[in-house]
Amino acid sequence: MRPPCAGPRGHLIIVSAPSGAGKTSLVKALLEDADLGLRLSVSTTTRAPRPGEVEGREYHFTSRETFAMRRDAGEFLEWAHVHGNDYGTSARTVATAMAAGHRVILEIDWQGARQLCGLFDKSQRTSIFILPPSVPELQRRLEARGQDHPSVIQDRLAAAETEISHAGEFDHVIMNQDFSETLAVLRQIIAATSR
């Protein structure tokens, strides 16, 4: 299903990374750059909010039952089961923003990125994968943020290997060794896209 985008076309910026690679912090900084004119597509998830997360800001939080009903009704442009929870992107939100000519940025798993790359041609989307400098550094970052139980961290580290193996499917692969340098590279990539 190709999403209905009437009128001027925007551009989809897809950002994926293993948990702890710095994706959320980078996207937050990009959204603060008014020159880029980005609109965030807030995903829907069945996971519980973490401390400090606000409904509609980080995610739209919902029950598994409601998520399944919306998924079955075709309301999600993409969806994936990640780390024991479901995540999805609203088809209506993305279509509306793109029809208005906006650059829309999404933080999603490689599975969702693959789905979107199948829906949008290269003139409509840019996909970016963020790599951590190393697995030990990824573990350090996950532990430092203090949001997950040690068993969850181990699950995320185990999943990181699979996630990283899909980096080659993306248009751009960037290692987040230095936050400022990575952010500068992302800004250049996004500034070069149409809107």
Tokens 């409601």, located at residue: 66
Higher pLDDT, 135 or 47: 47
Query: For strand 85-90 and strand 76-82, is the pairing parallel, antiparallel, or unpaired?
Result: antiparallel
pTM of the model: 0.87
| Rounded Cα distance, 125 and 47, in Å | 27
Element (H, E) at 91: helix 91-99
In angstroms, the Cα distances linking 186 to 9, 15, 34, 178 are 21, 10, 14, 12
User: Using 50, 70 and 90 to split pLDDT, how confident is the model at 145?
Assistant: confident
Handedness of CA 113, 114, 115, 119 (dihedral sign): positive
User: Token pair 């998924």 is at which residue?
Assistant: 71
Contact (CB, 8 A) for 80 and 108: yes
- Answer yes or no: is pLDDT of 1 > 60: no
Query: CATH second-level architecture of 11-191?
Result: 3-Layer(aba) Sandwich (3.40)
Residues 86-125: tens digit of each pLDDT: 999 999 999 999 999 999 999 999 999 999 999 999 999 9
Q: What is the pLDDT of residue 195?
A: 59
pLDDT-above-70 percentage for the chain? 95
Q: What is the DSSP letter of 132?
A: P
Residue 77 has pLDDT above 60, yes or no: yes
Residue 39: Cβ within 10 Å count = 18
- Each residue of 155-190: b (16+ CB within 10 Å) or e? ebbeebeebbeebeebeeebbbeeeeebbebbeeeb
> What are the domain boundaries of the chain?
11-191
The mean pLDDT value for 162-169 works out to 94
Is residue 30 within 8 A of residue 45, CB to CB? The reply is no
* Pick from 149, 146, 174: nearest CA to 21: 174
Please say whether the beta carbons of 170 and 186 come within 8 A. no
Average pLDDT on 150-168 reads 89
**The two structure tokens encoding residue 177:** 């060794």
pLDDT in tens, 27-47: 999 999 999 999 999 999 999
